[in-house]
Amino acid sequence: MLKEEHIALRQFLLRLLLLLLIVAAVDQGLGAYLRRLYFSQRSGDYFRTTYGMDSTRAPLLVLGSSRASHHFVPAVLDSVLQMPAYNSGRDGCEILNNLAVFRAATQRYQPRLIILELSPKELYNSQESYDKLSNLLPYYRSHPEVRDLVKLRGPYESWKLVSATYPFNSQLIRLFNGRWNLSGDIGIRQGGYLPLQGSGVSGTADNQLPDPPGAPDANKLNALKEMTAYCRQRQIPFLVVYSPIFSNIRNQEGSRVVRSICAADGALFWDYSNDVRFDGHPEFFRDNSHMNDAGARYFSAIIADSIRSAAVAGSQLTAAH
Amino acid sequence: MLFNSVHFVLFFIVVTAAYFMLPHRWRWLMLLIASCYFYMFFIPVYILILGFTIVVDYFAGILLEQHTGRKRKFWLIASLVANIGVLAVFKYYNFLNENLSALLNAFGYRNHIPNLGILLPIGLSFHTFQAMSYTIEVYRGYQKAERNFGIYSLYVMFYPQLVAGPIERPQNLLHQFYEEHRFELKRVVEGLKLILWGFFMKLVVADRLAMYVNAIYNNPGKHSGISLMTATVFFAFQIYGDFAGYSNIAIGSARVMGFKLMTNFNRPYFSKSIAEFWKRWHISLSTWFKDYLYISLGGNRVGIPRWYLNLFIVFTISGLWHGANWTYILWGALNGLYLVSALVTAPLTQRLHQMLGLHRMRRLNNLLQILITFILICITWVFFRANSTADAFLILGRMFTFSGPLFADWSTVMLYAFAAIAFLLAVEAKKEFYRGSFSFMDHPRAVVRYGTYTLLIMSILLFGVFDGGQFIYFQF
């Protein structure tokens, strides 16, 4: 390199360093503000997840995705089982996200019953499941138990998390909304349950849901195994549920795998996906995957009755009845 | 390797540092090795295809120079056949075979020729066209044959523009590999600014809009006219953000090392006619088709009907270049039809302008022309984005019914999308209409410049989509 090049290089590196310092300062400052905003939410998805991880002590904990949040009515479960429930289901958050809530919650207290709602295709590999682990980014610093799950997003995730702003990527509007409840969300007052209204399907379910190609995803199977094993060890009754769906399920292999994992640790697997009480009843469904409020209340009453009858929740639960 | 990945950021830093640290005589070799690594990051074995065309065109170039007359023509044809042959096998074989099957089925016959179970090599059309431009230029005598096999390989494989252009010409690029580029602060900063803006266009604009566009275009039958229309306008900005973003990163990456690649986009959505749009959109491809196909067909130095036919042929083939699907062919044909229609109706349009007095209201006239051009281009994008021709016609049919509600998730997509489009348009409008005015990135005051860089970086961190897919044009 020539002398002029050395001078230019030194100038460049100094300017780059200055820019990096400015960006780092703004990033850390803004990130700190967003963190405070995130953990002071009063409504919305972020609040419900944080509440499930950090605050709830409900004896009945429901985990799952949107199908959980729209299908399990804590008030109905409580009235039948005499056991307060918290529904931590969240749109798009599948089993890997559920495991994070499971770990954080069971670290703090021991629920008397845990229900995990699974979608029939959920255990199969999909990039979206890993993308959705972005929902755990805000917890990376404060919750060590989620770090290995966050790292499943990619090999450079921990590098990216040097930025304090990155965990709140694409969340700004929802953060303001959740802090001041601009959309009038009432989920937390209903124990996390989010009712859907109306019916958007008709006739009978004609769409087929076969097994997706390939084997179930190993990380997701391990997540399920971790939950069943932990519950067995702590003697927490654990129930895996396929709730009703407005599709013809041909999910033999997926169901078999779930059933065998549950059986190995004494957990129960109840499959309502093709239940005759919901098949051919479009009035219970908002869309192909989700029940409406009427369907959710009917289903919650059915499953609560089944839990009570089967006394799956063990001695403590049976003692309540 | 995707530009929007941590891998690329690391790769770029290492390669650029190595470039300036190495003595000039070794730089081309380092760049060639780096470019091979870059390409092999996708599907390693496909480098053999690239190797095949490089060897063929390298020797064809030398043989072209050594011969005259019919032999010279023979070597040109041999090179073109080899290049187009590779494209035909890897890109068009299955498409042609499926269409043959459909044709035979219509007459009650069966096609027993099997499809090929192969993936399309990334950026095949780009590097094939760049290689072809070399042999054509040597044939025409505008470029000397390159004797250094390594340098010629680097011309085809130069990593910034290897997989999605700009499609370079040998006269512009080859000599730059021989020139010693020093570390110049101004040029390095210029390149980095282009890269930063490219990332903004890709991550904040294109990938955000893609979320809405994909949701609508993957289920067009379930969405209302207004949603389909919104998705189409979003796609216009998505593809622009995606491809112009890529080009900016490519040009910027090369610029940092001292290479000057050709401009690929020049604020196309401010075009006042379709003809102008094609002078501002994907310039390296438009000029390629103009230089090597349109002019070879006779251009406009023929009778009027033949001239119109030439235009139509060039645009239809340009559609086919984009992909082996009828949607792309229709997209290209529609653009050709627009151009021919504009030429045919030019006297009528002028008279209409005068009748309405639009020629006296220059600004209003310009605005109207920009809007009409944008709407016409949006209609063509329906074919480009739709998953099938049936979907494209379904979308066009439903789009103008204006029935049903707007599908919108305001908190995660729509507000960000509108903000991103507004910001992009504001920046482009400033460059287009107020060229000499206040410049944020080039402002003499450091505080304004650094503030702008920080704002862009923070916008990417806060609003960029980090789980987005690859660049749309990689598939071509």
Cβ within 8 Å, pair B185-A173: no
Q: Among A4, A168, A173, whose Cβ lies nearest the Cβ of B411? A: A173
pLDDT in tens, B296-334: 999 989 999 999 999 999 999 999 999 889 999 999 999
Alpha helices (H) along chain A = 3-38, 44-54, 66-71, 74-81, 95-108, 127-131, 147-150, 157-160, 172-180, 218-234, 252-264, 293-310, 314-319
Report the alpha-carbon distance of residue B45 to residue A270 in Å, rounded: 48
Cβ within 8 Å, pair B462-A27: no
Report residue A60 CA to chain centroid gap.
16
Which of B127, B223, B282, B322 is the catalytic position? B322
Cβ within 8 Å, pair B6-A160: yes
Report the alpha-carbon distance of residue B350 to residue B338 in Å, rounded: 17
Instruction: Work out the minimum CA distance from B468 to partner chain A, whole angstroms.
Output: 9
Cβ within 8 Å, pair A160-B182: no
Instruction: Work out the minimum CA distance from B287 to partner chain A, whole angstroms.
Output: 36
Instruction: Work out the minimum CA distance from B39 to partner chain A, whole angstroms.
Output: 21
Q: Among B183, B453, B464, whose Cβ lies nearest the Cβ of A8? A: B183
Choose from A66, A169, A181, A201 for mutation: most chain B CBs within 10 A: A169
Mean predicted lDDT score pLDDT of chain B: 91
* pLDDT at residue number B470: 56
Q: Are A290 and A196 in contact (CB under 8 A)?
A: yes
Cβ within 8 Å, pair B461-A11: no
Residue B322 falls in the annotated catalytic set: yes
A1 neighbourhood in chain B, CB within 8 Å: 20-21, 183
Cβ within 8 Å, pair B411-A177: yes
Q: Which regions of chain A are under pLDDT 50?
A: 313, 315-321
Q: Which regions of chain B are under pLDDT 70?
A: 402, 411, 468-476
A163 neighbourhood in chain B, CB within 8 Å: 461
Number of H helices, E strands in chain A: 13, 7
Choose from B4, B256, B455, B466 for mutation: most chain A CBs within 10 A: B466
Residue of A nearest to B184 (CA): A8
Between the two ends of chain B, the Cα-to-Cα distance in Å is 15
Instruction: Work out the minimum CA distance from B302 to partner chain A, whole angstroms.
Output: 54
Residue of A nearest to B458 (CA): A27
* pLDDT at residue number A119: 87
Instruction: Work out the minimum CA distance from B146 to partner chain A, whole angstroms.
Output: 28
* pLDDT at residue number B152: 96
Token pair for residue A139?
């917890």
Cβ within 8 Å, pair A173-B467: no
Alpha helices (H) along B114-260 = 124-140, 149-157, 170-173, 185-199, 207-217, 225-256
- The 8-class DSSP code of residue B179 comes to S
B461 neighbourhood in chain A, CB within 8 Å: 27, 163, 165-166, 169
DSSP β-bridge partners for residue A86: A61
pLDDT in tens, A148-207: 999 998 888 888 999 999 999 988 988 998 888 777 777 677 889 999 998 877 776 666
| Burial class for B365, CB neighbours closer than 10 Å (0-12, 13-18, 19+) | middle
Choose from B457, B465, B470 for mutation: most chain A CBs within 10 A: B457
3-state SS assignment for residue B413:
helix
Cβ within 8 Å, pair A19-B415: no
Instruction: Work out the minimum CA distance from B387 to partner chain A, whole angstroms.
Output: 20
Instruction: Work out the minimum CA distance from B460 to partner chain A, whole angstroms.
Output: 9
* pLDDT at residue number A201: 79
DSSP H/E element including B82 = helix B69-87
Cβ within 8 Å, pair B183-A156: no
Cβ within 8 Å, pair A172-B182: no
* pLDDT at residue number A315: 44
Residue of B nearest to A16 (CA): B189
* pLDDT at residue number B407: 84
Phi, psi (rounded to 5 degrees) for A318? -65, -30
Token pair for residue B346?
């030019």
DSSP β-bridge partners for residue A216: A124
Alpha helices (H) along B257-388 = 274-280, 283-289, 304-322, 326-344, 346-356, 362-385
* pLDDT at residue number A319: 32
Query: Which positions in chain B have a beta carbon within 8 angstroms of at least one beta carbon in chain A?
Result: 6, 20-21, 182-185, 188-189, 410-412, 415-416, 450, 453-454, 457-458, 461-467
Cβ within 8 Å, pair A1-B20: yes
β-strands A60-63, A113-117 pairing: parallel
* pLDDT at residue number B473: 59
* Chain A / chain B CB contacts < 8 angstroms: 73
Instruction: Work out the minimum CA distance from A170 to partner chain B, whole angstroms.
Output: 5
Q: What is the ipTM of this complex?
A: 0.84
* pLDDT at residue number B5: 84
- Of B254, B187, B180, B181, the C-alpha closest to B3 is B254
pLDDT in tens, A248-271: 766 677 888 999 999 999 999 999
Cβ within 8 Å, pair A12-B185: yes
Q: Are B279 and B217 in contact (CB under 8 A)?
A: no
- Of A163, A188, A94, A160, the C-alpha closest to A133 is A94
Q: Are A138 and A38 in contact (CB under 8 A)?
A: yes
Query: Which positions in chain A have a beta carbon within 8 angstroms of at least one beta carbon in chain B?
Result: 1-2, 4-5, 8-9, 11-12, 15, 18-19, 22-23, 26-27, 30, 127, 131, 134, 154, 156, 159-160, 163, 165-166, 168-170, 172-174, 177, 183
Q: Indicate the pTM of the whole model.
A: 0.88
* pLDDT at residue number A317: 45
Cβ within 8 Å, pair A8-B185: yes
